[in-house]
Structure 1
């Protein structure tokens, strides 16, 4: 293998491929990235056996071939070369020689034949989405993914097409790319048992009959990084019962799915809460942030006191630090209510909520509360209360 490539192009591709590589591995070759030169480009592949990222970069290939090299070492060397530099890569018997100007390094290699491949298999469902639409779906709900390993089936995002579009718990609504609310929806849901987040878009062609899948947390984070710079570009998703493949520009990510059954989340979404409050999202977030200053743990309970014709009062009592109280203007309809919420969970929810104002539907002090952005029925959030 022998090729010449721009340092910036190689570094960009290497950044995408190496992120999936774990820094500590019991299998040595998993610390490597596969370099494969052919045609007019260089393909780089990284994997952790559960997820694989394959990406390409333009290169002048003098001799095709393939080899694996330590991902982190190669990345560090490329990062320290000057911008705009040209890099020569040549496979030798003793390793891979990398030269740029007066700089050179020889890296140890392992046989490319030993590099594992995440067999894709058949994907019965393939569909396209705008990159920013998919990124928004994940941003709205990923904060609610559980980190509790014993409930592994909650360690990801549940992506599915509900059997009954427009079900009572979440009305059909407009989507980010301007489509109408008619038809079935593709919905993303995440929950850790204390909070739940849901966001939906109009289901693209190709999702009909697709079984629900649980996309792992690591894959969600990596897909988010790949989507961020693409904006309105279209990406392609291919789905089977065990894997998902995302094609975004010159990069393809393939990931195994979580093998489990996501719980019936619709059972915890309140439908009959008749105490209703509206207020500015930013004002509520600022108020919660202020009153939790006195807590030793931002997860401590914040008391929300609602009364018709009066501002919402937030209060915290911390034995070791003191007390804090604040008020937020808004409207409230219903009987007076005092209810507690985890302050950190409230801030996470408000941080993911679109729009300037929110609508809060409450039951009693022991019932889950429903948070929705005012005028936007594509997202909803549920929080379980705490004792105060």
Structure 2
């Protein structure tokens, strides 16, 4: 095979591809990218057998063909080439290395047999819908921080996507939880999702999909079954297995009668949490919130550094209920406030019950955070 390709589109594709390719190298071929050229289009494919990505790039070829080379190595080479470089690839036979040339730079890349590269088939995907890129990005961004990474509770290692009916309208809902916090957001259901099953999109798939949503495409085509899901974003096709498990009945942990309402400016709260938590070296970095009428004091204690505290008054705080003292893990609190734009609303029952947190400017998003002793 012999073809040339511009550096910019190849680098962009490889940045997506190398994230999917298997890095643990237990099966060597899974660390490779399959490069297939039909004479007009270069197709790059990577898989770890749980997720697969195919990306197409326009390219001129003198000789069509296929080859597999290490994805990470190729990405690093292309990344360090100069902007605007035209890269030439050539392989005389499938047993020989792939020769790469760009200007005065050239190298050989080791190959593995194309026949050994696994094909990850999507199978029958009976459910189809299209969703706006911004809408899907929002579903992911407002929930992914709450995904669990505990292998024993694998069914929490992803985002639960399902249809709900509220006020006689269908909504597409994304939920994630790790047992300490929960994130939930709804968006109007796109046409075609009414019969889709509830699915759990795995953590790695969520991560790679989010990278792809940085592009300019206006919509994403989604196809799915009970075991697999496929996303088409422009010239990119991402296919993934789904988590084979049952997501817990999350509605049971969402408090319904928390009546003590605190509203606080997001920027002031986030900055204060960061400052008071900075003295603590503990992994959990607990922060205590002492709440009185239109007044909030945040404090943290460190055995080595002593006590840090900061006060927020009526310029930032609205509260008119019984006094409350409650503690949260600083990182968990920050993860939630990062999703909020202007004002954070807390709804408390007491110092030991789950706290409900909302974005006053985004009523479709809801968060639950478990308190800790401080």
Structures share fold, TM-score greater than 0.5: yes
Gap change, CA 1:266 and 1:99, over 3 Å in 2: same
Residue 276 of structure 1 deviates from its aligned partner by 0.9
Residue 342 (structure 1) aligned with residue 343 (structure 2): no
Q: How big is each residue's C-alpha offset from its partner over 1:304-343, in whole Å with a ceiling of 9 and x where there is no partner?
A: 12223x4112222223320122222311132222111111
Q: Check whether the contact 2:147–2:176 (CA below 8 A) recurs between aligned residues.
A: yes
Residue 39 of structure 1 deviates from its aligned partner by 4.1
Which residue of structure 2 aligns with residue 254 of structure 1? 239
Structure 2, unaligned runs of 5 or more: none
Aligned length: 369
Q: Is the partner of 1:92 in helix, strand or coil? A: coil
Q: Is the partner of 1:282 in helix, strand or coil? A: helix
Q: How big is each residue's C-alpha offset from its partner over 1:249-288, in whole Å with a ceiling of 9 and x where there is no partner?
A: 1111111111111101111111101111111111111111
**Superposition pairs of residues 280-299 of structure 1, within 5 angstroms:** 280-297=265-282, 299=284
Which residue of structure 2 aligns with residue 358 of structure 1? 344
Gap change, CA 1:349 and 1:298, over 3 Å in 2: farther
Which residue of structure 1 aligns with residue 285 of structure 2? 300
Distance 1:126 1:114 in 2: 32
Residue 50 (structure 1) aligned with residue 50 (structure 2): yes
Higher mean alpha-carbon deviation, 289-298 vs 242-251, is at 289-298
Question: Which residue, 121, 132, 135 being the options, matches 2:134?
Answer: 132
Question: Which residue, 145, 148, 154 being the options, matches 1:146?
Answer: 148
Q: How big is each residue's C-alpha offset from its partner over 1:132-172, in whole Å with a ceiling of 9 and x where there is no partner?
A: 2211111111111111111111111111112x325xxxxxx
Q: Check whether the contact 1:153–1:262 (CA below 8 A) recurs between aligned residues.
A: yes
Q: Is the partner of 1:76 in helix, strand or coil? A: helix
Distance 1:57 1:378 in 2: 38
Distance 2:286 2:98 in 1: 57
| Structure 1 residue runs of 4 or more that deviate by more than 4 Å after TM superposition | none
Distance 1:67 1:376 in 2: 49
- TM-score, length basis structure 2: 0.94
**Superposition pairs of residues 162-311 of structure 1, within 5 angstroms:** 162=164, 164-166=165-167, 183-230=169-216, 233-297=218-282, 299-308=284-293, 310-311=294-295
Residue 8 of structure 1 deviates from its aligned partner by 2.3
Q: Check whether the contact 2:39–2:62 (CA below 8 A) recurs between aligned residues.
A: no
Higher mean alpha-carbon deviation, 89-98 vs 113-122, is at 89-98
- TM-score, length basis structure 1: 0.91
Residue 19 (structure 1) aligned with residue 19 (structure 2): yes
Q: Is the partner of 1:205 in helix, strand or coil? A: coil
Distance 1:147 1:42 in 2: 36
Which residue of structure 2 aligns with residue 173 of structure 1? none
**Superposition pairs of residues 79-98 of structure 1, within 5 angstroms:** 79-93=79-93, 94-98=96-100
Which residue of structure 2 aligns with residue 373 of structure 1? 359
Q: Check whether the contact 2:51–2:239 (CA below 8 A) recurs between aligned residues.
A: yes
Q: Is the partner of 2:142 in helix, strand or coil? A: helix
Residue 102 of structure 1 deviates from its aligned partner by 3.3
Across the aligned residues of Structure 1 and Structure 2, the Cα RMSD in angstroms comes to: 1.6
Which residue of structure 2 aligns with residue 3 of structure 1? 3
Structure 1, unaligned runs of 5 or more: 167-181
**Superposition pairs of residues 114-133 of structure 1, within 5 angstroms:** 114-133=116-135
